[in-house]
């Protein structure tokens, strides 16, 4: 049975390589076959399956959610995880509402490993995951749904990863030659570290001289710390948002949505781009786009909504803009695919 599941996992990998649309029937078929054999899945196979689901944005797929929920309810102690596997597992569990499991997984990983990550990219992934958990904790506390208290262990992990991030950036600063990939990784690490520092009310002065890497960070990372950017950096960010693809824009909005973060800056620009782009849009994409839009509308309409921005006028204008998009139904329309893709016939 393990061999059969391995073959199914390998077929998922082939689908990923071929960049098959996530709405294709073949995905549902493969995920259903894995779910039907869920009781025979070995613990070491769990990260591979979840990573494939997350990488292909199938966590919102009904069968993908069912698989993740099964793993959450029957999770055994996993072996030491790679950073990408850890980030994928925590994100997947959070998407299905299992925040406490994601939190425990993070704590177990950080306690068990002497070094948080082997490289800058891995450290950025871990910090982004910690920030995701922390942001949802703060949102739950403010809404009084589930007041999760910050434990000493949470504080220790936060201090440890931020200290390691500062050391990595300091080492990179002293290097003579820095490649483009290293600059991009450093920018992402810096942006995610600054965001986590803000969530935990830490000082951002532990990253002196590293701010020149900010412009190399992904759009989503910079959107969350846009209040720390200079006017020139904000202008660059706005231009990049205006040129982003449908998938990139939806990915940024999707992550803000799952973070439950009180993020209003650049929301209008992101939704404007989502409505205007000619990128690929499937039924699943449109459903996610509308779900994300409805979330932000509800947030702004909630009793706490007026406290989330500095001006009621800004709050009202953004709310009216988002409601206007909803009424227009523009996100329900299909977009023209910008590229060809090859459908795999057999595996």
Q: What is the DSSP letter of 305?
A: G
Distances in whole angstroms, Cα of residue 25 to Cα of each of 57, 131, 281? 15, 34, 16
Q: Which is it for the CA torsion 135, 141, 146, 152, positive or negative?
A: positive
Q: pTM of the entire structure?
A: 0.84
For 86-115, the DSSP string reads: HHHHHHHHHHTT-HHHHHHHHHHHHHH-SS
Angle between helices 246-259 and 267-276 (to 10 degrees): 140
- Residue 160 near residue 112 (C-beta atoms within 8 A): no
Residue 215 CA to residue 275 CA, distance in Å, equals 25
According to the model, what pLDDT value does residue 203 have? 66
Q: Which residues contact 192 (CB under 8 A, 6 or more apart)?
A: 124, 127, 128, 131, 221
- Residue 93 near residue 85 (C-beta atoms within 8 A): no
- Residue 332 near residue 286 (C-beta atoms within 8 A): yes
> pLDDT tens per residue, the chain (347 residues)?
778 888 998 998 888 888 888 878 888 899 999 999 998 888 888 999 999 999 998 998 889 999 999 998 887 666 667 778 888 899 999 999 898 899 888 888 877 776 677 788 888 888 999 999 888 888 776 665 554 555 667 778 888 888 888 888 888 877 656 677 778 888 999 999 999 988 887 766 666 666 778 888 999 999 999 888 889 999 999 999 999 988 899 999 999 999 887 777 899 999 999 988 765 567 788 888 999 999 999 988 876 544 444 456 667 888 999 999 999 888 887 654 433 333 333 33
């Amino acid at each position: 049975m393990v061999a059969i599941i391995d073959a199914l996992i390998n077929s998922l990998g082939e689908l990923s390589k071929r960049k098959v649309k996530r709405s294709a029937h073949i995905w549902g078929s493969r995920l259903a076959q894995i779910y039907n054999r869920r009781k025979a899945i070995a613990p070491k196979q769990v990260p591979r399956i979840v990573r494939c689901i997350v990488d292909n944005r199938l966590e919102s797929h009904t069968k993908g959610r069912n698989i993740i929920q099964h793993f959450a309810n029957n999770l055994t102690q996993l072996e030491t995880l790679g950073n990408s596997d850890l980030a994928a597992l925590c994100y997947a569990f959070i998407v299905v509402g299992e925040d406490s499991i994601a939190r425990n997984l993070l704590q177990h990983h950080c306690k068990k490993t002497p070094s948080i990550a082997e490289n800058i990219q891995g450290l950025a992934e871990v910090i982004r995951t910690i920030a995701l958990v922390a942001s949802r904790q703060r949102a739950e506390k403010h809404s009084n749904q589930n007041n999760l208290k910050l434990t000493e262990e949470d504080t220790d992990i936060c201090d440890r990863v931020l200290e390691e991030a500062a050391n990595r950036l300091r080492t990179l600063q002293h290097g003579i030659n820095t490649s483009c990939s290293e600059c991009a990784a450093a920018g992402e690490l810096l942006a995610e570290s600054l965001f986590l520092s803000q969530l935990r009310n830490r000082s951002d002065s532990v990253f002196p001289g590293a701010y020149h890497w900010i412009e190399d960070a992904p759009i989503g990372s910079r959107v969350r710390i846009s209040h720390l950017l200079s006017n020139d950096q904000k202008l660059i960010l706005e231009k990049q948002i205006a040129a982003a693809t449908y998938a990139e824009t939806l990915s940024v909005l999707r992550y803000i949505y799952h973070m439950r973060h009180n993020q209003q800056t650049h929301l209008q620009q992101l939704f404007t781009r989502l409505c205007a782009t000619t990128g690929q849009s499937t039924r699943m994409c449109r459903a996610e786009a509308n779900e994300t839009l409805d979330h932000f509308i509800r947030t702004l309409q909630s009793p706490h909504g007026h406290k989330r921005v500095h001006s009621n006028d800004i709050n009202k204008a953004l709310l009216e803009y988002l409601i206007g998009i909803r009424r227009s139904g523009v996100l329900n329309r299909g977009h023209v695919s910008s590229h060809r893709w090859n459908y795999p016939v057999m595996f």
